[in-house]
């Protein structure tokens, strides 16, 4: 297993974060979670300091750190309840794909406003008829000279109503096997023919889901991200990075909750805590094993396990917390 990364990097981030946060941040933390102005300021300051994507070169807003150091920074940020980025999809999902597959022109034009939070991004993946079957999407993008003509319908597109850009996945080769005929397009959501409709939800959240309707929308060929019909690779790479982030947040939330739940007087609940603690540590070990494989250039099935393991363990914890809380 990967040894503990160099502590000074985590300490440097912790010191920077302490200097940035308001003095009463932790006293009023529940309210700070919804303070969009604070979260915007945090993203801008973190970008300027190189913390948003620390493994990237400095010219792209990073620190040229290693993967192990970057993981330690993300764990430190979660443990210290750093402000949540106001547009998570941009830096955590879109940016890695843009960094890996984007042309120099695309990166120069789009990366800094994305990482700094000046321009928000949405993910145009889910569709009404496809469910969780991403490869079953039906949105079409037909190549017409130097542009694509796009028609289709996306749903559950988080923050599309506030975003300027969208990584839109569309079928560009209807005759190819379904996962091979998809391309990723960089869509300007202000383009003619784009209509964004927020979805009314019962829950309270600043991450509003939307439907996106596309009626003969023109997208320049220069806005193709990756190769033509290569959108599957872009999606896998982008979501792989997201999964690496999610397990850390799940692990920290479970560990915090277990510290509170251990004070329970319910013997049945208390006996279940040991099993949950073991699962939480298994989640952490799987995260580091995935990092080991990535550092060694090996395939990493653990990366695919992380999201499921984290979600299932977190759900088990909340079920147990509900029992511990009782009917009151």
Adjacent-strand bridge partners of 165: 121, 188
**8 A C-beta contact, residue 159 and residue 201:** no
**Which tokens go with 59?**
């010219």
**Which tokens go with 310?**
């984290």
**8 A C-beta contact, residue 228 and residue 170:** no
Helices 67-79 and 7-20 cross at an angle (nearest 10°) of 40
**Rounded distance between C-alpha atoms, residue 90 and residue 226, angstroms:** 17
φ and ψ at residue 219, rounded to 5 degrees: -125, 120
For the question of residue 242 being annotated catalytic, the response is yes
Adjacent-strand bridge partners of 147: 144, 220
Adjacent-strand bridge partners of 153: 213
Name the residue among 88, 59, 77 with its Cα closest to residue 13.
77
In the chain, where does DSSP find H-type helix?
Answer: 7-20, 29-32, 36-49, 67-79, 89, 95-101, 104-116, 231-261, 267-296, 301-325
Indicate which residue of 11, 242, 272, 302 is catalytic: 242
Q: In which element (H, E) is residue 169 found?
A: strand 165-171
Q: What torsion, rounded to 10 degrees, do the Cα atoms 88, 92, 97, 98 define?
A: 70
**Rounded distance between C-alpha atoms, residue 216 and residue 138, angstroms:** 14
Adjacent-strand bridge partners of 212: 154, 196
Q: What are the catalytic residues?
A: 242
């Amino acid at each position: 297993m990967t040894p503990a990364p160099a502590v000074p990097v985590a300490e440097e981030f912790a010191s920077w974060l302490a200097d940035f946060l308001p003095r009463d941040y932790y006293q009023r933390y529940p309210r700070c979670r919804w303070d969009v102005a604070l979260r915007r300021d945090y993203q801008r300051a973190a970008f300027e300091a190189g913390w948003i994507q620390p493994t990237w070169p400095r010219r792209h807003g990073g620190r040229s750190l290693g993967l192990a150091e970057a993981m330690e920074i993300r764990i430190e940020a979660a443990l210290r309840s750093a402000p949540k980025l106001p547009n998570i999809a941009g830096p955590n999902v879109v940016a890695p794909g843009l960094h890996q597959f984007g042309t120099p022109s695309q990166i120069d034009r789009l990366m800094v406003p994305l990482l700094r939070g000046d321009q928000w991004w949405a993910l145009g993946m889910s569709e009404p008829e496809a469910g969780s079957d991403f490869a079953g999407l039906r949105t079409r993008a037909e190549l017409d000279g130097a542009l694509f003509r796009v028609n289709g319908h996306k749903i559950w597109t988080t923050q599309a109503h506030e975003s300027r850009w969208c990584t839109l996945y569309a079928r560009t080769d209807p005759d190819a096997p379904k996962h091979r005929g998809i391309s990723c397009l960089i869509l300007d959501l202000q383009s003619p023919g784009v209509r964004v409709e927020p979805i009314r939800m019962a829950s309270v959240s600043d991450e509003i889901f939307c439907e996106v309707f596309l009626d003969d929308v023109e997208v320049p060929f220069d806005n193709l991200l990756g190769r033509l019909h290569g959108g599957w690779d872009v999606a896998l790479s982008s979501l792989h990075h997201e999964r690496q982030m999610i397990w850390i947040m799940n692990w920290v939330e479970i560990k915090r909750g277990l510290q509170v739940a251990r004070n329970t007087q319910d013997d049945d609940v208390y006996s279940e805590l040991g099993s949950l603690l073991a699962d939480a540590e298994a989640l952490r070990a799987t995260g580091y094993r995935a990092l080991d494989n990535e550092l060694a250039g090996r395939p990493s099935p653990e990366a695919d396990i992380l999201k499921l393991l984290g979600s299932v363990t977190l759900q088990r914890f909340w079920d147990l917390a509900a029992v511990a809380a009782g009917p009151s």
